[in-house]
């Protein structure tokens, strides 16, 4: 008896994308360690809704991303990949063919830039994504029906998140949010602080006000807003007071270092 083919393209619909569209809160975490084992633990055993494999600031390449996808995708948390820059359609194409279905584009400053991000994730005539058959995203073309199913439904399950990181980008949120295919806007507080001349001062009142205004602009435009903080109180404020939809509660390395320092300090005392 022939064994059934596992269809990566029909692992189910993208629960993260559809939860955002339904207005449901989603908690996530950055995976900066580059470790497949850490990615597996966080995606499958942490209770999180999404994780981010970071190619912008963490030492990840296509090979390490693939290893982490192998480990994390069987888990219930959605695996998002942040690309190094918004204008890398060749990299986006490869990531999608590798089985990624949620991508975070950093440093998006305008509606035209956001539209280019969306186009990189869409097949012609709706975009510029190249067509590959024997790739991981559809089970390596071992099932022609599954391959055609992937082609037809890929756009419905690919989640496009764009990141605003400057006052100019925050001001452009109404136009960015109106771009078809953008599923959410993530506010990057650290880079926003730097762009405001307050590098390293995410908690500064002016930076926090800008974050609140950005989330409010997303809500007014009817698009989910995301943000990140390593502070529990700040995360609760983002969710309960400001109305963010998807919030990252820190990074794997930050949490590890914090817990180890706390434990070591307690025991030494």
Residue 67: pLDDT over 70: yes
Mean pLDDT is lowest, of 5-9, 47-51, 152-156, 250-254, for 5-9
Residue 10: pLDDT over 50: no
How does residue 269 score in pLDDT terms, banded at 50, 70 and 90?
Answer: confident
Residues in contact with 181: Cβ distance below 8 Å, sequence separation at least 6, in sequence order: 115, 118, 121, 122, 155, 160
Looking at residue 13, its pLDDT comes to: 86
High-pLDDT (> 70) share of the chain, %: 96
Looking at residue 1, its pLDDT comes to: 37
Distance, in Å, from the CA atom of 63 to the CA atom of 36, rounded to the nearest integer, reads 11
Domain boundaries, the chain: 13-268
Residues in contact with 155: Cβ distance below 8 Å, sequence separation at least 6, in sequence order: 121, 122, 123, 126, 181
**What would the pLDDT profile of 112-160 be if each residue is shown by its tens digit?**
999 999 999 999 999 999 999 999 998 898 999 989 999 999 999 999 9
**What would the pLDDT profile of 182-216 be if each residue is shown by its tens digit?**
999 999 999 999 999 999 999 999 999 999 999 99
How does residue 82 score in pLDDT terms, banded at 50, 70 and 90?
Answer: very high
pLDDT, mean of residues 172-187: 98
Give, in words, the CATH class of 13-268: alpha beta
Coil, helix or strand at residue 82: strand
Residue that the structure tokens 């590098």 belong to = 199
Residue 5: pLDDT over 70: no
Residue 2: pLDDT over 80: no
Residues in contact with 50: Cβ distance below 8 Å, sequence separation at least 6, in sequence order: 16, 26, 27, 28, 77, 78, 79, 80, 102, 246
Distance, in Å, from the CA atom of 40 to the CA atom of 87, rounded to the nearest integer, reads 29
pLDDT, mean of residues 51-65: 97
Q: Given 57, 67, 70, 204, which residue is catalytic?
A: 57
Residue 3: pLDDT over 70: no
The per-residue pLDDT of the chain, averaged, comes to 94
How does residue 12 score in pLDDT terms, banded at 50, 70 and 90?
Answer: low
Q: DSSP letters of 138-170?
A: GTTTSSHHHHHHHHHHHHHH-EEEEEE-SHHHH
Q: Is 18 assigned a catalytic role? A: no
Residues in contact with 269: Cβ distance below 8 Å, sequence separation at least 6, in sequence order: none
pLDDT, mean of residues 89-96: 97
Half-sphere exposure in the Cβ direction for 186 (13 Å, CA): 26
């Amino acid at each position: 008896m022939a064994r059934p083919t596992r269809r990566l393209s029909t692992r189910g619909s993208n629960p993260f994308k559809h939860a955002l569209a339904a207005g449901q809160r989603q908690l996530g975490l950055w995976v900066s360690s580059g470790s497949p084992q850490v990615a597996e633990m966080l995606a499958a055993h942490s209770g999180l809704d999404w994780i981010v494999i970071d190619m912008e600031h963490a030492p990840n390449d296509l090979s390490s991303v693939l290893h982490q996808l192998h480990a994390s995708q069987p888990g219930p948390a959605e695996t998002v990949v942040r690309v190094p820059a918004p204008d890398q359609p060749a990299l986006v194409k490869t990531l999608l063919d590798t089985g990624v279905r949620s991508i975070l584009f950093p440093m998006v400053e305008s509606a035209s830039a956001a539209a280019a991000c969306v186009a990189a994730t869409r097949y012609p005539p709706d975009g510029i994504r190249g067509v590959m058959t024997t790739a991981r995203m559809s089970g390596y073309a071992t099932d022609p029906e599954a391959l055609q199913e992937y082609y037809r439904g890929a756009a419905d399950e690919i989640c496009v998140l764009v990141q605003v990181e400057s006052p100019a980008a925050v001001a452009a949120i109404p136009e960015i949010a109106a771009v078809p295919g953008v599923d959410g806007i993530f506010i990057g507080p650290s880079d926003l602080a730097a762009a405001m001349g307050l590098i390293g001062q995410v908690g500064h009142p002016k930076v926090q006000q800008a974050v609140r205004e950005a989330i409010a602009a997303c809500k007014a435009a009817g698009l989910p807003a995301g943000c990140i903080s390593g502070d529990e109180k700040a995360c609760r404020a983002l969710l309960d007071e400001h109305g963010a939809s998807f919030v990252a509660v820190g990074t794997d390395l930050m949490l590890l270092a914090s817990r180890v320092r706390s434990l070591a300090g307690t025991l030494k005392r």
